[in-house]
Structure 1
Amino acid sequence: MHLPEPQVIGRPSRFTIEPGELPRLDATCPDTVLDAAQAPGLVIRAASTRGDAHRYNAQPRQDAMGLWRISERIILACVADGLGSAELSHLGAMAACDAARKLRKRPDEQFKEMAERYFSRIAEAVEAAAAERGVAAAELATTFLAAVLEVGADDSPHKVWLMRVGDCEAMVLSKGEWESCFDTASEDEVSSSATLALPGHADQVEICEMPLDRGDMLLLCTDGLSKPMRGEEVRTQLADWWGAFPPSMAEFLWQLSFRARTHDDDRTAICVWRA
């Protein structure tokens, strides 16, 4: 059976799609990670894949992700994007996601304070990973986004609590339209906020609390996906793929692997469909 190459949206990438040499690493960092899950009223697809530029240059995937069930009705999902300027940022992204799963309770009315404590502990884990290797913590710098999903009982609403430092994005696809979950910013603010990262900016956590309505899809992603989504053609194609019903795991990875010129970064996406 022959599978088609990933779809080209707009102009084709300048890189070949085949991976090159293996990166020289002292930690396991596979080219692609794929995951999925179901919960009452929810279907989840998740993937993190190395960008064509990193494949071509035998560099590691700097993105990471995590997906865990932490109680009967609580699911934790997170994505991280190691800074391209930090040599060991792939280790920081993995350390942040690994530390995130230590969350064990539902956010309460002190959500802001809880998020700051939570991100402080994650930042400490990144610092510890740097100290273990005898390098500056800045060499493991990573942006980070976490979502706590609560499955509502019976017909009660499903809820989402979002927390982030940096430019990882959360969006909702509703009736064919994309909407950011965080406050939209000007181009100057986007440029400035893109430098925020753990462990140095753990005290600058953005938060958002919202319901997840029937028929909606929540997307958590790194900027390897959110940047090409600024183009109408990509936004429309993804809405067409992900708006009606969840794809299979293989289809989801193929869709996420679309190719577009100047958009050769690692891509990570966790999609949560509310049935």
Structure 2
Amino acid sequence: MAGPIGAVVGLGVAATGYLVKEVVKALTSRRQDEHAAASPAPEQGAAAGPSPSRPVPPSRSEPPDRSPLVADASPGTPGTPPAAAPPTTSTARGRTGRPQPLPVPVERNPAPPGPVPACPSPPVLHRASELTAMPWRLPAHPAPPGMAADAARVGDLEVRAASVVGTGHRTDEQRAAPRQDAYRLGQDSASRHLVVAVADGMSDSPHSDTAAAVATLALVNAVRTQLDKDVPLHRLDHTSAFLEAAGQVHAVARQRNWPADSVRTVAAVAVVPTSPAPGGGRDVWVAGLGDTTAWVRRSLSWSRELGEKQQGLDAGRLDAYLPYTPQAAQGRPLHLEPGEILALMTDGMGDVLTELPAAQELFHRQWAAPVAPLDLLLHLCYDSHQRNDDRTAVVVWPPSPEGGRR
């Protein structure tokens, strides 16, 4: 038995010695490779050295996990320093065991130095209000957006609309209110007429924001129905349109178990042909209830054509509003000469045009041609002492009299 056992032991010792030699050989070869990779490439004409395509391990001053990922330098280019590469681990090697080039990361352009430009400040009319600098507050219940803006082209008309909650409603920490103004844009089925409506919910009516939204939609749809029946502009029935709006406002209140007094609102609606008459002008129809107003921009100033501003101690008191007195609505035709502009406004905008010459001059100049919807919104965010109501305007620009768009 000693013979076979001795043979087996001898074979085991030989195998162990062979494995130890191979491991030592492999370690020695790897150290030589790393030493050669760490040595700088020789100058052109010097003694041959390691290939410039070998990767260079990252320096100690830069952590390995932050080393730049770049492809190897092109082989065969004498005098070119080797490019940096990640450590030669098994995850970076292909089937041949050589390091594989990794993709170069895209470097984003850095932000330009200096502060980011801010939005222009809203215009100040007469005197600034202390409320403007106060933070906006949220109403107690979910509400419509505090700001809204739109732009559209219908026929040859350019229309812009914007609405913003007033500082008096948005800055009260305990009783912040939703935006109680609303607007709606539409057209008849044949796209021959633009139909617009604005509404101003009454501040002492708890759900007037809902009333304003319902009223504008109802008025646009009621007028569209008449236009689709080919009723001419001068025969449009404003009373039936406001009766329809009153019925829908009252129906919403009844569905939600709200008293009718909680959904009070005033409103106005207008119809503008989407193409001019043979002489270049347009016959327009407007109708309104309460202190919502229709204005025409003429050559020198804005002219109020619908809606009255009450004066005296009862300037804030209204006697006609939805859903109680739709029969008090008034309607009338207007004629726009070439170059004249129509605007429907709530009293947050109409009052400043009525009371402040500076506002007349400012908006006469700024709205001489179509503006971007965000610019219109900025204009409505004007700052003025004791003028803190919601503001809404829908402005309609026909083409300029010189021809073409403004």
TM more than 0.5: yes
**Alpha-carbon distance, 1:80 to partner:** 0.2
Deviations 1:117-138 (A, max 9, x none): 1110100001011111212112
Partner residue of 2:232? 108
Q: Could you say what secondary structure the match of 1:259 adopts?
A: coil
Partner amino acid for 2:361?
T
SS at the partner of 2:214?
A: helix
Distance 1:66 1:252 in 2: 16
Overall identity of the aligned pairs, in %:
28
Map 1:99-138 to 2 at 5 A: 99-103=218-222, 104=224, 105-106=226-227, 107-108=231-232, 111=235, 114-138=237-261
Kept after mapping to 1: 8 A contact 2:264/2:323: yes
Unpaired runs of 5+ in structure 1?
none
CA deviation after TM superposition for structure 1 residue 199, in Å = 0.7
Question: Across the two proteins, how many residue pairs are aligned to each other?
Answer: 272
- The SS at the match of 1:119 is helix
Unaligned runs of 5+ in 2: 1-116, 400-406
Larger radius of gyration: 2
Shift of 1:176: 2.5
Q: Does structure 1 residue 56 correspond to structure 2 residue 175? A: no
Comparing 61-70 with 33-42, greater Cα deviation is found at 33-42
8 Å contact kept, 1:167–1:193:
no
Aligned to 2:67: none
Computed over aligned residues only, the root mean square deviation of the Cα atoms, in angstroms, reads 2.3
- Per the normalisation by structure 1, the TM-score is 0.91
Matches within 5 A, 1:86-235: 86-103=205-222, 104=224, 105-106=226-227, 107-108=231-232, 111=235, 114-152=237-275, 155=278, 157-182=281-306, 187=311, 191=315, 194-229=318-353, 230-235=355-360
- Higher RCO, Cα 8 Å, sep 6+: 1
Alignment counterpart, residue 269 of structure 1, candidates 393, 402, 405: 393
CA deviations on 1:57-78 (whole Å, 9 max, x unpaired) are: 2210110000112232111101
SS in structure 2 of the partner of residue 10 of structure 1 = coil
TM-score, reference length from structure 2: 0.63
Q: Secondary structure at the match of 2:132?
A: coil
Which one of the candidate residues 2, 5, 15 is aligned to 2:131?
Answer: 15
User: Aligned in 2, Cα 1:233/1:153: closer, same or farther, shift over 3 Å?
Assistant: closer
Amino acid at match of 1:65: Y
Describe the shift of the 1:271–1:246 C-alpha distance in structure 2 as closer, same or farther (beyond 3 A): same
Q: Is the 8 A contact 2:220 2:269 kept in 1?
A: no
Is residue 377 of structure 2 the alignment partner of residue 253 of structure 1? yes
